[in-house]
């Protein structure tokens, strides 16, 4: 039996658009089904820990690069594509760090130690 995922009120106003390992970006085929499933789980885990700062403008977005240990611990989280809103950038970086450890893929072959997380205010 799967536990129901409670959707945070933040999810109604903002969402992480995509989550993909850097190595997948070079692949024309995209992520495997196992990677896509892992990405979905990580996305839900990170976004549930994201607090949208007051005054964040709809359409504003940025990207955070997270480096992971094999156990899913976030070793670092750095802004890779700034949005020009320092509070928003701090909030997305903090969300990634707070989400540590990230869920691991069910298929160990799907693991990627570097993820780029795209956040956008909706």
pLDDT band at 29 (very low <50, low <70, confident <90, very high): low
Average pLDDT over residues 74-83: 96
- Enter the CATH code of domain 31-121: 3.30.1150.10
Q: What is the pLDDT of residue 32?
A: 85
11 vs 121, residue with greater confidence: 121
Model confidence pTM above 0.85? no
**DSSP for the chain?**
-PPPPPPPTHHHHEEEEEEEEHHHHT-TT---HHHHHHHHHHHHHHHTT--PPTTPPTT-EEEEEEEE-TT--EEEEEEEE--S-HHHHHHHHHHHHHTPSPPPPSSGGG--SEEEEEEEE-
**Residue 16 reports pLDDT greater than 50:** no
Residue with the two structure tokens 């950038």? 89
Position 85 pLDDT exceeds 60: yes
């Amino acid at each position: 039996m799967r536990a129901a995922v409670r959707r945070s009120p933040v999810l109604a106003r903002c969402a992480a658009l995509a989550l993909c390992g850097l190595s997948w970006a070079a692949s024309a085929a995209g992520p495997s089904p196992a990677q896509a499933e892992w990405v979905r789980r990580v996305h839900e885990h990170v976004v549930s820990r994201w607090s949208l700062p007051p005054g964040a403008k709809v359409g504003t977005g940025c990207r955070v690069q997270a480096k992971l240990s094999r156990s899913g611990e976030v070793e670092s989280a750095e802004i890779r594509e700034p949005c020009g809103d320092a509070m928003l950038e701090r909030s997305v970086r903090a969300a990634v760090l707070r989400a540590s450890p990230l869920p691991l893929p069910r298929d160990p072959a799907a693991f990627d130690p570097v993820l780029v997380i795209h956040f956008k205010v909706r």
